Structure formats: C-alpha cells, structure tokens
Amino acid sequence: MAPRRQADILVVGGINTDFLVQGPRLPRAGEHVEGHLFLESLGGKGANAAVAASRLGARSTLLGRVGMDARGLALLEQLEGEGVETRAVSRDPGFSTGVVLEMVDESGRRQSLSAEGANRRLSVADVIAAEDRISGADVLLAQLAAVIAAVHIARAAGTHVVLDPAPPSTLPEELLEAVHVIRLNDAEAEVLTGLEVVDRDSARRAAENLLRRGVGTAVVAAPQGTLLLGTESELWLPNLPVDWVDTTGAGDAFSAALCVALGERRSLTDAARFAHATAALATMRLGALSGLPNRDQVVSFMARIDSLALSPEPVSW
Ligand SMILES: Nc1ncnc2c1ncn2[C@@H]1O[C@H](COP(=O)(O)OP(=O)(O)O)[C@@H](O)[C@H]1O
Ligand SMILES: [Mg+2]
C-alpha cells in the first residue's frame, strides 16, 4: 500500500484553560452545591481541533492568541507536547489567557461561563504574519467568526476552507460564499438559517439553504445523526452506538478529522465517515481533550462498527 500522505492543517481558533467541576446537580442562582470531581485542562475550540488533528496523524498548526501569563505558557507547552506547532500563537501583554468555568451534573448537563481574554485580541496582523503557513496548508479550519482575513488568504492560495462557527450566530454572507465546507450543530444551523433542525429532513432543508447561499458543502448535526449535503452528494450518518458521557468537543473532533482526511486527499464521503467515527469516540470521556482519540483508535473502531453492523450493542474502547 502506498504510504499515507500527511495532511497539513492550519486551525484558527480559541485557546483556553478549562476548569471543570462535576457535582450531583447544577446550582441555581445564588446557590452553592458541593461537587466531587475537578479537572483542569487545555481547552478552547481551536486548541481541541489542533490536538485532534495531531492525534490523527496530521501536521497541525494553531493560529491564536494567549496572554503573557503562566497559564498561557503552560498551554503552549502542552500543545507542543501534543505535537501541535505553536509558532503562530501570539502572546498578548494586556489580556489574560482565555478561561472557561464549567459545571457539569451527573447526567452530563452543563453550564459554563467564559472570559475570552486574549482570544478576542487575535488580529488581522496576526493572521497576515501567518500568511505563509495558511497558504502552504492543505486545509484551513476556521472557528472564530473574525477569520475573514485568514479565509481570503486560504482561498487565494488554493487551501481548502472548513468553517465550524460556534457559538450560534449569524455570519457575513461573504464568509459563507468563501467556505468549501461548513459544519454546524442543530442550534448553530437554526440561528444561521432560521430553520429548526430536529431530524434528517429538517437538517437537509437547513443544508439546502446554506448551499443556496454559496457554501460548497454543508454538514449539519441533527439529534439522531449527521447530514452531509454537497452539490452532487448527500450522505446521512446515523449516530453510532457508543456509551456517550459528554459530547463537548465532539463537533470540533468531527471538523478536525474531516480536515485531516481531506488533507490526505480522501473523498468527501470517506472523510465524513472518518470524522463521524472520530466524533462518536470523542463523546466517550468527560472533558473535550481527554476524549480525543488517536488514529489507531478511530481505525479499529471503524472496523468494529462495520463488523457490528447488525448488533445494536454500544461499543466501548
Ligand atoms: N453517538 C454519536 N455518534 C456520532 N456522532 C455523535 C454521537 N453523539 C454525538 N455526536 C456528534 O457530536 C457532535 C457535537 O457537536 P457540537 O455540539 O458542535 O460540539 P462541540 O462544539 O462541543 O465540539 C455532533 O457533530 C454530533 O453529531
Ligand atoms: Mg461545535
């Protein structure tokens, strides 16, 4: 078999420290509840996707901004330990590294409050400073709405553009016209299209709306599965049977895996299947980063899914 082509992925997105406490239930306003589990980890959609891409075997570069503080430095070291290239992460002297406080109850319901800090200060100048890396990449995964400059550089250089815009918001039409692939969860699709997404048919209507507005391919996650709609293809991927614990970060894992497979020059449907399996595995651990699978885990999971096609039993790994 020919050696696999290594994908080169450039992720533009947020970098945070996540402080997570799990307790018996979420507190009401003004209430204190004693929890039982504490996790501190590298987080932020950009960092998660960059780590996901690296674990899946890609060359992964992150473009973002952290503070000059000790947390920022620690996050950069952790990213490098994961094999993520961080030279395009700038450090802001006046704002602290982004932080998210998360509370999770036993059934996985969560509530969070963030201080975006240095993430909000990522500038067009930072993007232009990384122009060579963007132009040289196979795929740009953009996760901040303020990434139009990066998208333009990528388009001009022939770099594929995948957009995973969160949290739910409207986007400039100019940005929609410029992306090859947009990936949305149901809430994001609803805000962007005004159409409620509750199942496969409504996901298709939302995807059609996005295609009419210039998007190349739309990937919309509905509660029961994920729909991919391109100008010539439609694929419905029902949710895979896993013992899910926490879906946080699973969408980012999907986007990162899609980019990796596209960067390896695999077909869109092949890439979507790979991404779907990666997302399913990413739901099986609490915390976004700890759930991100490596390539071997995704490959063996896909083989098991194929062989278990007739079995409804949840899979564990
Ligand atoms: N059992 C499952 N099989 C496959 N994908 C799943 C499963 N459960 C959840 N997912 C995926 O998890 C993702 C969650 O996306 P999203 O809400 O954007 O998460 P985040 O932004 O935190 O990464 C969706 O793409 C959904 O399809
Ligand atoms: Mg998401």
Question: Using one digit for the tens of pLDDT, what is the confidence trace for 36-91?
Answer: 999 999 999 999 999 999 999 999 999 999 999 999 999 999 999 999 999 999 99
Q: Whose CA is nearest to atom 25 of ligand 1?
A: 251
Q: Which ligand 1 atom is nearest residue 242's CA?
A: 1
pTM for this prediction = 0.90
Q: Whose CA is nearest to atom 12 of ligand 1?
A: 250
Q: Which residues of 272-299 are buried (b: 16+ CB within 10 A; e: fewer)?
A: bbbbbbbbbbbbbbbbbbebbbebebbe
Residue 317: its pLDDT value, please? 46
In the chain, what percentage of residues exceed pLDDT 90? 82
pLDDT tens for each residue of 23-36: 999 999 999 999 99
Alpha helices (H) in the chain, listed in sequence order? 45-55, 70-81, 124-129, 131-136, 148-157, 173-178, 186-193, 200-212, 250-263, 268-282, 295-307
DSSP string, 160-215: EEEE---SS----HHHHHH-SEEEE-HHHHHHHHS----SHHHHHHHHHHHHHTT-
279 alpha carbon – ligand 1 mean position (Å)? 6
SS3 38: strand
Q: Which ligand 1 atom is nearest residue 241's CA?
A: 1
Q: Whose CA is nearest to atom 27 of ligand 1?
A: 221
Q: Whose CA is nearest to atom 18 of ligand 1?
A: 251
* The pLDDT of residue 104 is above 50: yes
Please indicate whether residue 246 is annotated as part of the active site: no
Q: Can you read off the two tokens belonging to residue 54?
A: 């690296």
Q: Which ligand is nearest to the CA of 245?
A: 1
Which of the four pLDDT bands, split at 50, 70 and 90, describes residue 290? confident
102 alpha carbon – ligand 1 mean position (Å)? 18
Q: Can you read off the two tokens belonging to residue 76?
A: 């950069």
pLDDT tens for each residue of 301-316: 999 988 766 555 555 5
* The pLDDT of residue 176 is above 50: yes
Protein residues with CB under 6 Å of any ligand 1 atom: 166, 185, 221, 226, 239-240, 242, 244, 247-252, 254, 276, 279-280, 283
> Which residue among the candidates 69, 252, 270, 296 is catalytic per the annotation?
252
pLDDT tens for each residue of 182-217: 999 999 999 999 999 999 999 999 999 999 999 999
